[in-house]
A and B are shown apart, each in its own frame.
Chain A
Amino acid sequence: ETGVTQTPRHLVMGMTNKKSLKCEQHLGHNAMYWYKQSAKKPLELMFVYSLEERVENNSVPSRFSPECPNSSHLFLHLHTLQPEDSALYLCASSPGKGPWNEQFFGPGTRLTVL
């Protein structure tokens, strides 16, 4: 595997389900990000992790819970979601969290909440 991978690629869940999205980066980077892309809206930054420490949380509802067990893996745990949470969730990584670092994106997980 190379670059940034995400699983699953597609997920359909009910509002009472609990599921997790997984992201793995094979680039030796130290920072990882979760973004949300809703239809017809710009990408929104959700969370930033640097060296496994959460450094940014952009007012994301608590039904989204991130976890970064090591610098290569990032999870987004989902519970009691709403239909408006249906979106493409993108993971990214960068060498560090400094602003000069280029971010590399995964293919995304298409989430549908029924």
Chain B
Amino acid sequence: KQEVTQIPAALSVPEGENLVLNCSFTDSAIYNLQWFRQDPGKGLTSLLLIQSSQREQTSGRLNASLDKSSGRSTLYIAASQPGDSATYLCAVNSWGKLQFGAGTQVVVTP
């Protein structure tokens, strides 16, 4: 059974610092991995999708890497802003099912 872990559970950084969010998974037989953002009480916004054949994906200040063999993905957010405050979820697609981690709650202080 696929298990997805996100560490740390919460993170607070001053504005301008780079953010590093970690996601690990137990079964390397994945099709893809998605990173989502969730604002309090709201739905999920897809940030990046990395297919299993890819090593990284970039979108603006966001960069996500994938190391399937070690069961890890990292989301980097450069030059963080207060508007980046949210919960970040990673989800691994195994056999057509998305398995979610519990998320990392991020606070960026001005």
Contact = CB atoms under 8 A, between A and B. Distances in A.
Interface in A1-30: 4, 6
A111 B41 CA distance: 11
- By secondary structure, the A interface counts as loop
Interface in A93-113: 97-100, 102-108, 110
Contact of A43 (B31, B32, B89): B89
A88 interface: yes
Contact of B96 (A42, A97, A105): A97
Nearest to A107: B43
Q: Could you say which interface size class chain B belongs to?
A: 20 to 34
A92 to B, nearest CB: 8
Given A41-B102, A43-B89, A97-B96, A105 B34 contact: no
A4 B42 CA distance: 13
23 contacts: A4-B43, A6-B43, A42-B99, A42-B100, A42-B101, A42-B102, A43-B89, A56-B97, A88-B41, A90-B44, A97-B96, A99-B31, A99-B94, A99-B96, A100-B31, A100-B32, A102-B32, A102-B49, A103-B34, A105-B46, A108-B41, A108-B43, A110-B41
